[in-house]
Amino acid sequence: MTSLEGSSILVLGASGGLGSEIARLLAAGGARLILSGRDPAKLEALAIPGAAVAADLTDPDAITALVAEAVSLNGRLDGIVNASGVVAFGPAVEVSDETLTELFALNTLAPIRLLRAARAALAESAEQGRAPFVVTLSGVVSESPTANLAAYSASKAALAAFGQAAGRELRRSGIRILDARPGHTETDLSTHPISGTAPRLPTGYSPAAVAQRVVDAIVNGERDLASTSFHP
């Protein structure tokens, strides 16, 4: 079991539909949050207890600075929830270089750099008897790559593969990586793609329900949330 009470947790994508729901649940459990996103105004408007720190995750130096500030604000770092990301729609053979660069910068490279930057702080948390964790949200497309979402699927599948391998490496350090792969969830992500237009999608999962399942997994020490772990 992982106790949320008093834990220091960095939530990326905190102003998004799923990130905000997860943040609220973590705050209700007594966690001390560092809320991060691109837009400072959106972070402040959340009205969730915690420190708001804007950051551009496409910038490697910004990721390093964000982790350092998170540790400075609460004196330690016990967990990370990465709910940030972008989506793009369209045929696989028509995806532009600009779209590819942004998809992989945010969905794949940013989480890798984040773990690299946070490893020492998370290992220290483990040494002090806590149960540090990193949550990634690769989503169902990492299990089932989807037509007209080929590049997006690839960016998320790469994230899932990295998490599986890194999780094995970090077990001895006491750091747990949890990858969550919910199906389509009713957030604004699909309505703001960086390219293309979303097709008509079936009604997705409730963000509140997905967030609750993720937070339950954090508390219960789970390491993997397959798509079958989520229900409408």
Which residues participate in catalysis according to the annotation?
Answer: 152
The CB-based long-range contact list for 27-32 (8 Å cut-off, 24+ gap) reads: 29/4, 29/5, 29/215, 29/219, 30/4, 30/5, 30/6, 31/4, 31/5, 31/6, 31/7, 31/79, 32/6, 32/7, 32/8, 32/74
Q: How many helices (H) and strands (E) does the chain have?
A: 7, 7
Q: Dihedral of the CA atoms 114, 185, 3, 55 (nearest 10)?
A: 30
User: Is the distance from CB of 6 to CB of 223 less than 8 angstroms?
Assistant: no
Select from 77, 85, 112 the least CA-distant residue to 13.
Answer: 85
User: Is the distance from CB of 223 to CB of 181 less than 8 angstroms?
Assistant: no
User: Is the distance from CB of 25 to CB of 38 less than 8 angstroms?
Assistant: no
Distance CA 70, CA 209 (A): 27
Compute the C-alpha angle 213/219/220, nearest 5°: 85
